[in-house]
Amino acid sequence: MMSNIYLLSDKNMEDVINLPMIQISPIAKNIDLSHYNALIFTSKNAISSIDSFDKSWQQISSYAIAPQTAKVIQKYNGTLAFTGTSGHGDNFAKELIDQLQNKNAIYIRGAKVVSNLVNILKENSINCDELIVYETKCKNYTKNQQPEKNSIIIFSSPSTIECFFENFSWDKSFKAVCIGHTTSKYLPKDIKPYIAKTTSLASCIELAKELRIQIS
């Protein structure tokens, strides 16, 4: 019997079972973006949240951490100026240093972040403020909704790890796939994850399928 692959997201992807862990709650604010000429995005949720209450962001140059984030900026009619290649917050900050010289930047983000992006930029003389536009909350599941034994679990963020373990216990037959090394650090120390080649869900799923063949 083939192992099930659980994607802890509501994003529809082939050959996986969706098990969303997170609820997104936009935080509406009266804001004035006219002082900024660079918007930094590391999350698709930040894009959809700010778009829900202020369309002016669309006219300001946006800097995306990775291609998937860039696609969401374009989907919401934003002005894409730069797309990072590392996919990791701290490395993305280093990529931005040359891009943001003499600009007034603002990092549009959720209530929880795991990188030192803003500090790195400020240490390199980049003007950068922060704006929290959403918060995340864990969905609630019952114990009988726990994945079956031998399942492969895809963790796409530290928040998905936190919320998974709020709901379920880890079975030793499970295998963990993480979207990146930063996310993997939030797993319990006794769980040894597999890391996707790139920071994308597609890469995570590809790796999970390879693991499924190996253990079938």
Domains of the chain: 5-21+138-215 (3.40.50.10090), 32-136 (3.40.50.10090)
Per-residue confidence (pLDDT) for residue 166, from 0 to 100: 96
Per-residue confidence (pLDDT) for residue 182, from 0 to 100: 86
Residue 63 and residue 103: Cα distance in Å, rounded? 12
Per-residue confidence (pLDDT) for residue 130, from 0 to 100: 95
What percent of the chain has a predicted confidence (pLDDT) above 90?
81
Per-residue confidence (pLDDT) for residue 187, from 0 to 100: 97
As a whole number of Å, the CA-based R_g of the chain is: 18
Write out pLDDT tens, residues 174-208.
999 999 888 999 999 999 999 999 888 999 999 99
Write out pLDDT tens, residues 47-96.
999 999 899 999 999 999 999 899 999 999 999 999 999 777 789 999 99
Residue 70 and residue 91: Cα distance in Å, rounded? 17
At 28, the pLDDT band (50, 70, 90 cuts) reads confident
Rounded to the nearest 5 degrees, what angle is found at the Cα of 72, between the Cα atoms of 96 and 98? Answer: 10
For residues 43 and 54, the answer to whether their CB atoms sit within 8 Å is no
At 114, the pLDDT band (50, 70, 90 cuts) reads confident
Residue 9 and residue 19: Cα distance in Å, rounded? 6
Per-residue confidence (pLDDT) for residue 165, from 0 to 100: 97
pTM reported for the whole predicted model: 0.74
